């Protein structure tokens, strides 16, 4: 059994208050809110434009799924999709949940612009990382968690848009640590039905 004395409790509280102060300082530095607002505004234009671009590549078929893909640094964004015909030709059923293997990839200017805003913001923050922080130490990067959440917020806002309304929406990264896996799962849960999340989880194992 672990017992805490009053002194221990005060110490824990003090550390918690200090950590909260550090988090708030990071989130308020470098015009965080302004930058995230700019990113959200860009994504509100980029995602519908990306969907229309992907639809134009679909040969007249409807889209069967949509995904936003990023990287370990959360510094880039690209969109992918597939149609029912593509799904019928997948060599393995789990490919429906692996956007890196999907045949349709958006290369529209709108998504490139959103990705540039993200790139500039993220690398400004990485330049300010404390010495010794590893790429997968995302639990020590509150700005990165808030940035990822902003991306999911916009997807959720647009969830009832005509081209997104009835299809699964996935998030993925080419590489990721444990913390980003948790963010991705939380986003997938927010954006999809319980049944779809179960199928996705069976493939990704988290």
Counting other chains too, the contacts that 5-10 makes at CB distance below 8 Å and 24 or more residues apart are none
Six-digit token string for 21: 């102060």
Tokens 């059994």 — which residue?
1
Classify residue 39 by its DSSP letter.
H
- Tens of pLDDT along 146-176? 999 999 999 999 999 989 999 999 999 988 8
One-character DSSP codes across 168-194: -EEEEESS--HHHHHHHHHHHHHHS-H
Return the pLDDT at 55: 96
User: What's the pLDDT score for residue 16?
Assistant: 37
Beta-carbon count within 10 A of 144 CB: 21
Structure confidence by residue, pLDDT tens digits, 58-91: 999 999 999 999 999 999 999 999 999 999 999 9
The secondary structure of residue 161, as a DSSP letter, is: S
Which among 91, 5, 106 is positioned nearest to 52, based on CA atoms?
106
Rounded mean pLDDT, 11-40? 52
Whole-model pTM?
Answer: 0.81
Distance CA 91, CA 109 (A): 32
More confidently predicted of 126 and 80: 80
Using pLDDT thresholds of 50, 70 and 90, give the confidence band for residue 8.
Answer: very low
How many CA atoms, within 13 angstroms, populate the side-chain half-sphere of residue 101?
12
pLDDT of residue 76: 93
Q: What is the dihedral of CA 206, 164, 109, 33, to 10 degrees?
A: -70
């Amino acid at each position: 059994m672990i017992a805490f004395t009053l002194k221990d409790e005060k110490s824990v509280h003090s550390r918690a208050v200090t950590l909260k102060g550090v988090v708030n300082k990071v989130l308020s530095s470098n015009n965080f809110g302004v930058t995230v607002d700019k990113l959200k505004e860009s994504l509100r234009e980029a995602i519908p434009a990306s969907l229309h671009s992907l639809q134009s590549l679909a040969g007249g078929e409807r889209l069967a799924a949509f995904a936003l893909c990023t990287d370990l640094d959360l510094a880039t964004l690209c969109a992918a999709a597939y149609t029912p015909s593509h799904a019928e030709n997948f060599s393995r059923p789990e490919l429906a949940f692996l956007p890196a293997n999907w045949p349709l990839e958006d290369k529209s200017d709108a998504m490139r612009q959103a990705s540039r805003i993200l790139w500039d913001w993220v690398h400004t923050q990485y330049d300010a990382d404390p010495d010794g922080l590893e790429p997968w130490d995302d639990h020590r990067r509150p700005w990165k968690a808030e940035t990822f959440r902003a991306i999911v917020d916009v997807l959720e806002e647009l969830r009832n848009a005509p081209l997104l309304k009835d299809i699964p929406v996935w998030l993925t990264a080419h590489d990721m640590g444990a913390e980003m896996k948790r963010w991705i799962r939380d986003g997938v849960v927010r954006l999809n039905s319980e049944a779809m999340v179960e199928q996705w989880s069976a493939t990704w194992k988290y």
